[in-house]
Amino acid sequence: MRVPIAASIRGPWVTVQDWHDRQVDLTSGRLVAGAILVANYEGVSAVTYVIAQPCVDLKDLACVDECPVDCIYEGKRMLYIHPDECVDCGACEPVCPVEAIFYEDDTPDEWKEYYDANVHFFDELGSPGGAAKLGAIDSDHPIVAVLPPQIQDEH
């Protein structure tokens, strides 16, 4: 069972709010003072969140506003979570009005390929270190680019 947590950035540390303030070194992903593992940085294997098909052609930015580490990037038709920048805090998931954000292991089978879409969207971009400085990116992963226009209900 996953316990919801919140995270905030203070210098090179992320402070995790659970029962105690605990810290993870964002540069190495190493635990500090017995902290729980939440970082997904180079060399650290952690599950991440995935944005799936319901976001296509909607791009509600509530998740971007909620993300404490600025790891949600705007593509041409949907948003993407950078797996190396996400600290798995889960703040984005409950604010998505169309329920397009899933913990990787909880992604419905029909949208499992969106894990690869989120990962490989960054193949050429690398790890820019934050979405705000890039702004909207005029491309999408091929899985998204080939989709017909999506009709979205009012949310």
pLDDT value at position 4?
A: 36
Indicate whether 59 belongs to any domain: yes
Indicate whether 71 belongs to any domain: yes
Can you give the CATH number for the domain in which 74 is found?
3.30.70.20
* 3-class secondary structure, 103: strand
Number of neighbours of residue 106 by Cβ within 10 angstroms: 12
Indicate whether 154 belongs to any domain: no
92-108 pLDDT, tens per residue? Answer: 999 999 999 999 999 99
pLDDT value at position 48?
A: 86
124-145 pLDDT, tens per residue? Answer: 999 899 999 999 999 999 999 9
Instruction: At 16, list the tokens.
Output: 């995790």
Indicate whether 77 belongs to any domain: yes
113-124 pLDDT, tens per residue? Answer: 999 999 999 999
Residue showing tokens 């971007």: 64
Indicate whether 1 belongs to any domain: no
Indicate whether 11 belongs to any domain: no
Number of neighbours of residue 95 by Cβ within 10 angstroms: 15
Indicate whether 68 belongs to any domain: yes
Q: Domain count for the chain, please give it.
A: 1
Average pLDDT over all residues of the chain: 79
24-59 pLDDT, tens per residue? Answer: 545 554 444 444 444 444 444 355 899 999 999 999
Give the span between the Cα atoms of 10 and 4, in whole angstroms: 20
Q: What's the pTM value of the predicted model, to 2 decimals? A: 0.70
Give the span between the Cα atoms of 112 and 108, in whole angstroms: 6
Domain assignment of residue 91, given as a range: 49-144
pLDDT value at position 19?
A: 41
Mean pLDDT of all residues in 63-75: 96
Give residue 21's pLDDT band: very low, low, confident or very high (50, 70, 90): very low
Give the span between the Cα atoms of 7 and 17, in whole angstroms: 6
